[in-house]
Structure 1
Amino acid sequence: MEVTCLSIVQRRTTVLLITCLQIASLFVVLPVNSTTFNGTNNSVDRAALLAIKSLIRDDPQDVTSSWNESYHFCQWQGVTCSSRHRRVIILDLSSSGLVGSLSPSIGNMSFLRTILLQNNSLSGETPQQLGRLFRLQELRINNNSFEGNIPSSLSNCSNLKVLHLGINKLVGKIPYEFGSLTMLRFFIVHRNNLTGGIPSFIGNLSLLETFSLGGCNLVGSIPDIFHRLKNLKRLAFPDNELVGTIPPSIYNLSLLESLFLDNNHLHGTLETNLVFLQPRIQEISVPNNQLTDSVAK
C-alpha cells in the first residue's frame, strides 16, 4: 500500500514539474534583431546608401554629410522610409550638384518607389541593377551625363509610371522589352545619342500621356500606332532625321495638347484643320520639314 501511494505521489510531482516548465516557457524572452522585428533586414538599405555615397566625388551642397553614424539612415537627407518596415521608399538627390557615378548597389533597396537624381553631374553607365526594383514607380535621371545603353532590365519594373532619361549621353536603341511597361505614363528620352527609329511597341503603352524623343538622331518613319494611345497629351519628335508623312492616327488623338515635329524630313500635307479636329491643341510646331499647308512656320 505504501509503494502504491509513493508511486502516485511521484507521478503527480512529475506532472506538476512538466506543467510548470511549460508555463515558464511562455515567458522566455527571445533576442530581437532587425530581421525579427521588421520582417526584413533593413541594414541592406543602409549599406546601399553608403555605397552610393562612396561613388560621389563632389557634393558641393553637403547633401550626404548627414549620412553617418550619428543618425539612423531614415533621417539622412534625401532619404524617406516607410513607417511600417523602415525601408527606403524615396531617394531624392535632385538638383544637388553631385559629381560621380551611380552605384549598382541601388538595386538592393527593394522597397524603392521613387528615384530622383535629375539635374546633377552624374556620369558612367546606368546600372542594370535598377531592374531589380519591382516596386519602382518613378525614375528621373534626366539632365546628367549618363552613358552607355538604356538598361533593358528596366522592363522588369512593371509598376513604372514615370521614366525620364532626357539630356544624357545614352546610346543605342530603345529596348524592345519596354513594350511590357504597360503602366507607363511619361516616357521622356529627348537629347540623347540614340540609334534606330521610333519603336512600334510604343502602341502597347495605352496609358501613355507624354512621349518625347526629340534630338535623339532617330531615323525612319513615324509608325502609325497612335490610335492605341487614347490618353496621349504631348508628343514630341523634333530635331531628328525622320522621313515620310505624319501618320493619320495622330490626327485622331482627342486629348492631344502639344505636337512638336520640327527639324525633320517629313513631307506631305499637315491638315490645316488640325486645330479644329483637336480642340485641346495648344502648341503645334512643325517648321523645317517639307510639309505643305502648315499651320505653324
Structure 2
Amino acid sequence: MRSNRFTLAVCILCLGIWCCGQAYNTEEAAPMEKAEQAALYSAIQGFVGNWWNGSDLYPDPCGGLWYITALSIGPFYENSLACATNVEFRPQLFQLKHLKSLSFFNCFISLRHPITIPGDKWEKLAGSLQSIEFRSNPGLIGQVPTSFGYLKKLQSLVLLENGLTGQVPTNIGNLTNLNRLVLAGNRFTGRIPDSFGRLKKLLILDLSRNSLSGHLPLGLGGLASLLKFDLSNNQLKGKLFARNAYLKNLTLLDVRNNKFSGGLNQPILDMHSLEELMLSCNPLGGDIMRLDWQSLQSLVVLDLSNVGLKGEIPESLSGLKRLRYLGLGNNNLAGNPPPKLASLPNLNALYLNGNNLTGVLKFSEIFYGKMGKRFGAWNNPELCYPIGSMTRRNAPYGVKPCQRGVTLLDPNSGAKLGDGNLNNNSHFVASLGFSSNGIHGLRQLILVDTSITVLLLNLFL
C-alpha cells in the first residue's frame, strides 16, 4: 500500500458532547440525510476508489452518521487509506452543504495522470466552507478556478507546493474574511493583483517560490494586520514599499531573490515589530550608514547580503540586542568592522565576506572560537587578523594574518626588526640560534644576515 492515503475527519467529539447536552448548532446536530450520505460516499470513492464502502468511518456514539464538517484526503495519519491512481473530483463533493474544511495532502502525485481543480460549482459551498488546502500535490496542474472568489466565508486558502500555473485570480481579493493566503511553491506568473490590498484581515501572506513579476501593489502597504509577509524567490521589481507602509504588526518580511531596487527606505524601519528581515539577492543599493537601525529592536534575523550596499558598517547595529544572525556579505562595504558587534549577546552567525573591508580585525579569540565558521570575513583582500593575539585553530577562516612591519639598517647602528633591537633583544637573537651576548666576526654576520633573509621570506610569503 502506497504512502498516499486519506482520512476522513469528522467532528465527532463535538457532536458526541452535544449528545450529552452541549449543542452548538441545531441544524448540524442532526443525523445526516440519506442523500448527503450518499454524496459523501461517492465523493470519497472518487479519491480512493469505488471499493470503499464507508466501513472505516468512526462510528458516532449517538448512533447514525452525523453531518461532515471537515474532510481531509491524504496521508495525514499512518493508518490512512491510499488514494487512487486515477483520482477524480466527483460533483457529489459539492453537495456536502455543511462542509467547513476541505484538505488534500500529497494525494495528486502522478505526473502521468495529472488533474485540475474543478472550475465551477464552488459557489455551492459558499454558505459553509471556511478553509481550503491543497498541499504537496505535484500532479495538481492548471489554473486556480475563478469560482473560488464566491467563497466569501473563506478564512484560509492554502495552495502550497503544487503544479498550479497561470495568473493569480484577481477575485481572490473579494475574500475579505481571509486571514491566511498561501500560494507558495507553484508556477504562478504575472503580477500580484491590486485587489489583494482589500484583504484587510490577512495575518499571513505567502506568495514565495513562484514566477510572479512586476511592481508591488500599493495597497499591500495598508495590510495593517499582517504578521508574516513572504515574497521570496520571484521576479518582482521596483522600489520596495514606494510609499508609506502601515505594517506595524509585521514580524517577518522575506523578499529574497527578487529584482527590487531603489535602496533601503524609511517605511521598512517603521516596522518596529520586525523579527526577521530578509532582503538578500536584490539590487537594492544604497548607503547602510544612512539608516537608523536602532528602531528595529525586535530583530532576530537581518539578512542584507548581496544587495549592493555601500559605506561603512554602522556601529548602531550593535544596539540590536536580540540579533542572532547578521548577513552583510557580498556587498561594497568599506572600512573596518566595528568590534562592538561582538558584544551582541545572542549573535551566533556574522557574515562580512565579499566586501572591501580593510585593516585589522579587532574581535577577540573567544569570539572567533564561539563563532567558528559562522564568522565569515573571507574575500576581503585588505583585511587581516593580528597573528600574535590568537592560536591558529581559532583564526578567522579565509582571512590572512597581518604582516609585521620590518626596517633593516646597518647592524652596528642598533637596527630594529619589528619592535626588537637586533643587538639587545635576547629573544630575537636566541630565536636565530645565537648567544645574546653579542655577535662578532664576518662569518657570524653572514649567518645572521642569511637568517634574517629567511625570516623575512617566511613573513611575506
TM-score range, shorter chain: 0.7 to 0.9
| Cross-structure match for 1:95 | 136
Q: Give the aligned partner of residue 429 of structure 2.
A: none
Distance 1:202 1:257 in 2: 24
What is the aligned partner in structure 2 of residue 19 from structure 1? none
After superposition, the Cα gap between the structure-2 partners of 1:77 and 1:67, relative to the gap in structure 1 and judged at 3 Å, is farther
Residues 227-238 of structure 1: pairs in structure 2 closer than 5 A:
227-238=269-280
Of residues 220-229 and 137-146 in structure 1, the stretch that sits farther from structure 2 once superposed is 220-229
Cα offset, 1:140, TM superposition: 0.5
Q: Which runs of 4+ in 1 moved over 6 A?
A: none
2:229 aligns to what SS in structure 1? strand
Does structure 1 retain, via aligned residues, the 8 Å contact 2:270–2:295? no
Whether contact under 8 Å (2:100, 2:130) holds in the other structure is no
Alignment deviations for residues 239-285 of structure 1 (CA, whole Å, 9 cap, x no partner): 111111125233431100001111121101222562x4111111111
- 3-state SS, counterpart of residue 179 of structure 1: helix
**Are 1:120 and 1:144, in contact at CA under 8 Å, matched by a contact in 2?**
yes
Match of 1:296 in 2: 351
1:256 aligns with 2:281: no
- The question of 1:72 aligning with 2:72 is answered no
Larger relative contact order (CA 8 Å, sep ≥ 6)? 1
Q: Which runs of 5+ in 1 are unaligned?
A: 1-36, 39-49, 51-58, 80-84
TM-aligned CA deviation for residue 77 of structure 1: 4.7
Which 10-residue stretch deviates more, 217-226 or 156-165? 217-226
**Is it true that 1:280 corresponds to 2:322 in the alignment?**
yes
CA distance in structure 1 between the aligned counterparts of 2:238 and 2:319, rounded to whole angstroms: 31
- Counterparts of 1:132 and 1:96, CA distance in 2: 26
Q: Distance in 1 between matches of 2:243 and 2:294?
A: 19
TM-score (norm 1): 0.72
For 1:251 and 1:214, how far apart are their aligned partners in 2?
23
Which residue of structure 2 aligns with residue 22 of structure 1? none
Does structure 1 retain, via aligned residues, the 8 Å contact 2:101–2:130?
no
Moved more, 170-179 or 93-102: 93-102
- 8 Å Cα contact 1:208-1:229 kept in structure 2: yes
Equivalent in the alignment of 1:144:
186
**Paired position in structure 2 for 1:119:** 161
Q: Contact (CA 8 Å) 1:263, 1:288: kept in 2 or not?
A: yes
Alignment of 1:28-47 (within 5 A): none
Task: Compute the TM-score of the two structures, normalised by the length of structure 2.
Answer: 0.47
Structure 1: distance between partners of 2:187 and 2:311: 37
* 1:108 maps to 2:150: yes
Larger displacement relative to structure 2 (144-153 or 63-72) = 63-72
Q: For residues 35-75 of structure 1, what are the alpha-carbon distances to aligned partners after superposition, in whole Å with 9 as ceiling and x for unaligned?
A: xx89xxxxxxxxxxx9xxxxxxxx99669746542772628
Residues 285 and 227 (structure 1), Cα distance of their counterparts in 2 relative to 1, 3 Å cut: closer
Q: How many angstroms does 1:220 deviate by?
A: 1.4
Aligned equivalent of 2:121 = none
Distance in structure 1 (CA, Å) of the matches to 2:101 and 2:180? 20
Return the letter of the residue paired with 1:122. L
Structure 2 alignment gaps of length 5 or more: 1-26, 29-42, 44-73, 75-81, 105-125, 338-349, 353-461
Alignment of 1:45-56 (within 5 A): none
CA distance in 1, matches of 2:351, 2:160: 32
Partner of 1:175: 217
* CA drift at 1:228: 2.2
Structure with greater Cα Rg: 2
SS at match of 2:171: helix
The aligned counterpart of 2:313 is 270
Structure 1 match to 2:286: 244
- Counterpart of 1:204 in 2: which secondary structure? coil
Q: Cα RMSD (Å) of the superposition? A: 3.0
Instruction: Name the counterpart of 1:30.
Output: none
Following the alignment from structure 1 to structure 2, what is the Cα–Cα distance between the partners of residues 175 and 233? 24
1:178 is paired with a residue whose SS is: helix
Range that drifts further, 158-167 or 60-69: 60-69
Partner of 2:37: none
Hey, what's the Cα distance between the residues in 2 that align with 1:92 and 1:200?
33
Q: Which moved more, 1:64-73 or 1:109-118?
A: 64-73
How many residue pairs get aligned? The number is 238
